[in-house]
Structure 1
Amino acid sequence: MVVTLRIAVVQPIAHPPSEAQANVADAIRWVEQAAEQGASFVCFPETYPGPWRMPATFDPRPTMVEAAAKHGVHVVFGTIEPVNNEIATAYNLVCMAYPDGRPLAQYRRTHPNGPWIYTGGRFWEFRYVPGDDFPVFDTALTRVGLAMCSEVYVPEVSRALAVRGAELIFMPAGIDKKKLWETWRALTWARAIENLAVVVTTQNLFSHTERGLAMVATPEQVLLESIAAGLFLVDVDLERIRYLRETRDDVDSSAYCAVKQGLLGPQWLRKELYGRIYPRGSE
Structure 2
Amino acid sequence: MRVALFQATSRPRNEVNAHALGRAAMEARALGASVLVTPELFLSSYAPRDVAATDGWADRAELAAAARREGLWLVGSTVERIDDVAHITASLFDPHGHEVTRYRKRNLFGADERAMFLPGDERPEIVEIDGWAVALGICFDVEFPEFVRDVAVRGAELLLVPTAVPLREPTPSGPNPLDTRQVSLMVVPTRAFESQLFIAYANHGEPAFSGSSVLADPYGRRVVTAGPHEQLVVGDVTREVLDGARAAVDYLAIIERATLRDASRSPSA
Give the TM-score normalised by the residue count of structure 1. 0.77
Higher helix fraction (1 or 2): 2
Distance in 1 between residues matched to 2:113 and 2:24, nearest whole Å: 27
SS of equivalent to 1:132:
coil
Kindly indicate whether residue 96 of structure 2 is the aligned counterpart of residue 100 of structure 1.
yes
Once the two structures are superposed, what CA deviation does each residue of 1:94-145 show, in whole Å capped at 9, x if it has no partner?
Answer: 1111113333321111125x9955167xxxxx33332322211112231111
Cross-structure match for 1:43: 37
Cross-structure match for 1:253: none
* Structure 1 spans left out of the alignment, 5+ residues: 121-125, 248-259, 276-283
Cross-structure match for 2:267: none
SS of equivalent to 2:156:
coil
Contact 1:45–1:172, Cα closer than 8 Å, also in 2 = yes
* Aligned amino acid, residue 9 of structure 2: I
Kindly indicate whether residue 73 of structure 2 is the aligned counterpart of residue 74 of structure 1.
yes
Shift of 1:21: 4.7
Cross-structure match for 2:241: 240
Once the two structures are superposed, what CA deviation does each residue of 1:19-77 show, in whole Å capped at 9, x if it has no partner?
Answer: 24531222122111111111111111111223651321652112211221221111111
1:1-283 alignment runs, 5 A limit:
5-16=1-12, 19-50=13-44, 52=48, 53-56=51-54, 58=56, 59-85=58-84, 89-112=85-108, 116-118=111-113, 126-178=116-168, 179-184=178-183, 185-205=185-205, 211-220=210-219, 221-226=221-226, 227-245=228-246, 247=247, 260-266=248-254, 269-272=257-260
User: Measured at CA, do residues 232 and 183 of structure 1 come closer, stay the same or move farther in structure 2, by a change above 3 Å?
Assistant: closer
Give the TM-score normalised by the residue count of structure 2. 0.81
User: Measured at CA, do residues 267 and 30 of structure 1 come closer, stay the same or move farther in structure 2, by a change above 3 Å?
Assistant: closer
Count of residue pairs brought into register by the alignment: 246
* Aligned amino acid, residue 113 of structure 2: Y
User: Measured at CA, do residues 66 and 177 of structure 1 come closer, stay the same or move farther in structure 2, by a change above 3 Å?
Assistant: same
Contact 1:115–1:129, Cα closer than 8 Å, also in 2 = no
User: Measured at CA, do residues 129 and 192 of structure 1 come closer, stay the same or move farther in structure 2, by a change above 3 Å?
Assistant: closer
Contact 1:115–1:127, Cα closer than 8 Å, also in 2 = no
* Aligned amino acid, residue 224 of structure 1: V
Contact 2:165–2:180, Cα closer than 8 Å, also in 1 = no
* Aligned amino acid, residue 197 of structure 1: L
* Aligned amino acid, residue 93 of structure 1: T
User: Measured at CA, do residues 264 and 54 of structure 1 come closer, stay the same or move farther in structure 2, by a change above 3 Å?
Assistant: same
Distance in 2 between residues matched to 1:183 and 1:209, nearest whole Å: 15
Query: Following TM superposition, where does structure 1 have runs of at least 4 consecutive aligned residues deviating by more than 4 angstroms?
Result: 114-117, 207-210, 272-275
Contact 1:176–1:211, Cα closer than 8 Å, also in 2 = yes
* Root-mean-square deviation (Å): 2.6
**% identical aligned pairs:** 21
* Structure 2 spans left out of the alignment, 5+ residues: 169-177, 264-269
Distance in 1 between residues matched to 2:208 and 2:119, nearest whole Å: 32
SS of equivalent to 1:171:
strand
